[in-house]
Amino acid sequence: MGFVVTEDVLESDPHFYLGCTDCHAGDASKEKQEDAHKGLIARPSDDPEASCGQCHEETAKTYTLSLHYTAAGMKHGVMPRFDDKGAELFKDKVFEQSCRSCHASCGDCHVKSPDVSGISTGLLDGHRFVKKAEDKTCAMCHGGRVYPEFTGEYGGTPDVHYRKGMTCIDCHTGDQFHGDGTAYTSRKQVADKPSCTDCHDLAKLGKDATKETHATHADTVSCSACHTASAYRQCNSCHLGGGAVSNPAIVLGHSPRTPGQLTTLRLIPTQRETFKPAGISMTNFDSLPNYWDTVPHNIAKRTDRTRDCNTCHQEGLYYLEEAKLPKGGSTKNLELVP
């Protein structure tokens, strides 16, 4: 046996009731490798319905519409900045050639960690199919911001849920990963996405004063605005063509998606000429801000905002300020300043 598919894997993993060619094609009757590998499919689950769908028909069908597979959030998130011509150019010259390469196939989570900028940690456990391996799968794609904030590797406070032994899939369930059969254009549209109140009943939490505080702020302040433990990653030069640089900070401002709510914001440093090398002009650049509401994954029960009301109500310590907005940024940013 080879070092990738060993006898114990064949005996213990039910996926190997199928032969190699059932998923990878090729010709098992040939002796020479070059003959046997003709027509080989290196990544069978890039087409989930034709591969995994042989046994997992319903899951494969919904997954092809999921955001992890379509990467539609990347496409539709920036679309309002373009006119009709720019939108078509973006879809053909940028999204399909670049952003779309980040889509995740079934195998990226269950067999081999995904390639990010050509780097992969390889097979998760030989060629054994695994149910979950967050540190090798979630962390590869979401390791720029979410995972290192969650674990404290970015240098801040590890998330309280991580310290209690929870992992990604405790909140982000398999049903959410695999999709519900709806082709969403943004994760914000997903009805059953994780919510703090799925586990934390605000009407029953803590002392009477705590309950009153939660009730007072329920409609005007997001949970993360108060419970983000420490500075999180603000992307300062991604998408600008000069390498990625980030700085840690907590930024509070008006939510661009939930009117009347104060929340944590993250800088997305798109510039007016970001897509100029592709011949695309963002004629509607000012239709979107450079800051978006975010939920940093470094939550704590007690922070300086939960201990002292003056942190926000007197000092405005972390508030977004007009003077600190990125130069040449969208005029829409001004609407987010408290």
What ranges do the domains of the chain cover?
A: 1-42, 195-338
Compute the residue count for the chain: 338
Residue located via tokens 């720019």 = 86
Residue at 56: amino acid letter:
H
CB 237 within 8 A of CB 274: no
pLDDT, position 1 = 35
**Distance in angstroms (rounded) separating the CA atoms of residues 9 and 126:** 8
pLDDT by 10s per residue, the chain, length 338: 345 788 888 888 999 999 899 999 999 999 999 999 999 999 999 999 999 999 999 999 999 999 999 999 989 999 999 999 999 999 998 998 888 877 899 999 999 998 877 788 889 998 999 999 999 899 988 988 899 999 999 888 999 999 999 999 999 988 888 999 999 999 889 888 899 999 999 888 888 989 999 999 999 999 999 999 999 999 876 655 566 677 899 999 999 999 999 999 999 888 898 888 889 999 999 999 999 999 999 999 999 999 999 999 999 999 999 999 988 899 999 999 99
CB 251 within 8 A of CB 318: yes
Main-chain phi, psi angles of 228, to 5 degrees: -70, 120
Longest Cα–Cα distance of the chain, Å, equals 77
**Distance in angstroms (rounded) separating the CA atoms of residues 224 and 263:** 7
Residue located via tokens 């993993």 = 13
pLDDT, position 117 = 74
Contact partners, residue 145, CB within 8 Å, separation at least 6 = 232, 233, 235, 266
